[in-house]
Structure 1
Amino acid sequence: MPAINEPKLISGNANLTLSTAVARRMSIHRGAKVDLVNARVERFNDQEIFVEIHENVRGEDMFIIQPTSNPANDNLMELLIIADTLRRSSAARITAVIPYFGYARQDRRTKARTPISAKLVANMIAHAGIERVLTMDLHAAQIQGFFDIPVDNLYASPIFALDIKHHFRDCLDEVMVVSPDVGGVARARELAKRINAPLSIVDKRREKPGEIAEMTVIGEVKDKRCIIIDDIADTAGTLVKAAELLMEYGAKEVHAYITHGVMSGPAVERVTGSVMKSLVITDTIEPTAAVRSAANIRVVPTAPIFAQAILNIWGGTSVSSLFEDATLEPLYETHYS
């Protein structure tokens, strides 16, 4: 069905920098200026969230850009309240653009008497009036099935592949992709296939949550430039230990490509003091000042792919086409020129 109304963006407070960048990229793609909707998203003295939209959105195709990152509960409530505001203002369709989907790690019951919080959050999003979700690198693919509305899950691996081909262009034959655990093998294999590199696995065994009892490397990493690929870096403890282990096994150098840089607690200090030559993250979560100033942490933009995905959803065209190099490379042409 051809699009009739213009796509309109509204942002919460979780990542205004990304929202502004998406609007700017959409303006470039369309050749017409796209601005964020003029709205007020603030808190009362008791921290209740209040939203007021200062322009007409009746009959419009609305896109809310709001990752549910730290503080997860506040940012989730902002998303739900913005959606309710738009629904009560007669928006034609509401799409939630959630670059980082919080609570995704609670996607199953690991023991008795525990919740499946990802399913609860999915229900809340649908009941708030949101009709479609656009996100990136869900922690578990089955979370898409928790929603009773369409979910478009973008992948960071095509972006990472472009970045690796640019920064390792003189030594691609030495690159080894490493999965930090058995559960992440599919993600690592996808990247390895894109850059035509071999795959290795760090097998870790935990005695209890947060504590690693034993780590071993499956695969020959000696004299390789190892690239660890994962979706989330939280406290970075496992990441740093995996890098140390790879160096012990004879790796020439270790880098890491992580989609969502949660980087809580001592994460930045651990990374800067580690044997890792570089950590590359995306801006799905607003990077802190400490992250931006860290010498061995680099941030790659997601605005180009999110902007095009929004335009594809608005225009009723394929989102999965963005997984192909031929479609993605032109979006990042200026970034890697």
Structure 2
Amino acid sequence: MSVVTEPKLISGNANKPLAQSIARRMSMHRGMSVGLVDARVERFNDQEIFVEVYENVRGEDMFIIQPTSNPANDNLMELLIITDALKRSSADRITAVIPYFGYARQDRRTKARTPISAKLVANLLTEAGVDRILTLDLHAAQIQGFFDIPVDNLYASPVFALDILHHFRGQLDDVMVVSPDVGGVARARELAKRIGAPLSIVDKRREKAGEVAGMTVIGDVSGKKCIIVDDICDTAGTLCKAAEVLMEAGATEVHAYISHGVLSGPAVERITNSVMKSLVITDSIEPTEAVKTARNIRIVPTAPMFAQAILNTWSGTSVSSLFETDTLVPIYEGMYSRD
């Protein structure tokens, strides 16, 4: 019977800085050096992916850190091929740590003759040999049911709550949490409950995908510092329009807290030129230089939360304890003091 000594981390190319940050945090927790397994994940000239693991992983508890963000197909294939390499090297258990789960927006058939790509990706991961999934803010909670293996879905809202309580200290009576659409009400309500703020909704009507025909604010936002909450910001068109509508409705400031900053195409330029005072995202997707240098975009780290979740998974203790804001206060080591 194999004896698992320490959790081992391996990373693809999707978000190496996050993987290295998680390793550093785990080193602090363990009181010993935790590094990334020595491996190469490269491309042949025809762009086929090649993986070689240089360390012995037989009987080990392996954690692959790899968001399936842009380029989604390349990063997904990297994850699958790394999994296959570890499986064929007799790893004891393989956990896919997917900070951003790509294809999650295709979670149901909205029209005839369309795919459910999220289910296909779930099948691919399982067939490749993944034993467990650890992810952050799935676009649709029901995706957990697409898997026949355990799925731990962490939430950004406890970290966002800490950030809001820190940055809006003394102003919380003026804060209003806003859902950018009816479908996101549950997510917005969860954050509003954590910080003790009221809730408003921006009701939007679409003529076709990617184009918003009109928006209406449900609730009185006059004189309020509005905080828009959502899981994904792609081209930022809807987000910036919602901010304009809220300002027109009497809001004094508009901020946004988004779990996954996809920020493709003209997104950064739109946000920089928008009426939004700030956009806060996590580092679940590696930020580009444009995102890092944007005057009104701020990034909060997820490494402390993922490091603790990996350690809890490895040791067989509760991951759901990380759903609570108070649990994250010591994990974030005073970054968000509430005194």
Q: Shorter-normalised TM-score: what interval?
A: over 0.9
1:336 deviates by 2.8
Alignment of 1:256-335 (within 5 A): 256-335=256-335
2:209 aligned residue:
209
Which stretches of structure 1, 4 residues or longer, exceed 6 Å deviation after superposition?
Answer: none
Give the letter for the 1:86 counterpart: L
Q: Secondary structure at the match of 1:229?
A: strand
Q: Write the distance in 2 (CA, Å) between the matches of 1:72 and 1:314.
A: 28
1:249 aligned residue:
249
Give the letter for the 1:77 counterpart: M
Q: Write the distance in 1 (CA, Å) between the matches of 2:177 and 2:333.
A: 24
1:9 deviates by 0.0
Equivalenced residues, count: 335
Alignment of 1:74-93 (within 5 A): 74-93=74-93
Provide TM-score, normalisation by structure 1: 0.98
Give the letter for the 1:298 counterpart: R
1:15 corresponds to 2:33: no
1:145-164 per-position Cα deviation (integer Å, ceiling 9, x unaligned): 00111000000000000000
1:30 deviates by 1.2
Q: Write the distance in 2 (CA, Å) between the matches of 1:200 and 1:333.
A: 32
Q: Write the distance in 1 (CA, Å) between the matches of 2:137 and 2:211.
A: 25
1:25 deviates by 0.3
Q: Write the distance in 2 (CA, Å) between the matches of 1:221 and 1:332.
A: 32
Q: Write the distance in 1 (CA, Å) between the matches of 2:144 and 2:270.
A: 33
Structure 2 spans left out of the alignment, 5+ residues: none
Give the letter for the 1:63 counterpart: F
1:334 deviates by 3.7
1:222 corresponds to 2:222: yes
Q: Write the distance in 2 (CA, Å) between the matches of 1:291 and 1:140.
A: 26
Give the letter for the 2:94 counterpart: I
1:36-66 per-position Cα deviation (integer Å, ceiling 9, x unaligned): 0000000000000000001100000000000
2:132 aligned residue:
132
Q: Secondary structure at the match of 2:235?
A: coil
Q: Secondary structure at the match of 2:271?
A: helix
1:325 deviates by 2.3
Give the letter for the 1:96 counterpart: A
1:335 deviates by 2.4
Q: Secondary structure at the match of 1:102?
A: coil
Provide TM-score, normalisation by structure 2: 0.98
1:234 aligned residue:
234
Give the letter for the 1:239 counterpart: L
Q: Write the distance in 2 (CA, Å) between the matches of 1:141 and 1:274.
A: 31
1:20 deviates by 0.1
Q: Secondary structure at the match of 2:55?
A: coil
1:175 corresponds to 2:175: yes
Q: Write the distance in 2 (CA, Å) between the matches of 1:326 and 1:283.
A: 21
**Any conservation in 1 of the 2:39–2:51 contact (CA below 8 Å)?**
yes
1:210 deviates by 1.1
Q: Write the distance in 1 (CA, Å) between the matches of 2:220 and 2:42.
A: 53
Q: Write the distance in 1 (CA, Å) between the matches of 2:175 and 2:303.
A: 27
Give the letter for the 2:263 counterpart: M
Q: Write the distance in 2 (CA, Å) between the matches of 1:333 and 1:231.
A: 25
1:32 aligned residue:
32
**Any conservation in 1 of the 2:283–2:300 contact (CA below 8 Å)?**
yes
Q: Write the distance in 1 (CA, Å) between the matches of 2:316 and 2:288.
A: 35
Structure 1 spans left out of the alignment, 5+ residues: none
Q: Secondary structure at the match of 2:69?
A: coil
Q: Write the distance in 2 (CA, Å) between the matches of 1:226 and 1:184.
A: 15
Q: Secondary structure at the match of 1:52?
A: strand
Give the letter for the 2:138 counterpart: L
Q: Write the distance in 2 (CA, Å) between the matches of 1:325 and 1:80.
A: 33
Q: Secondary structure at the match of 1:68?
A: coil
1:218 deviates by 0.3
**Any conservation in 1 of the 2:4–2:59 contact (CA below 8 Å)?**
no
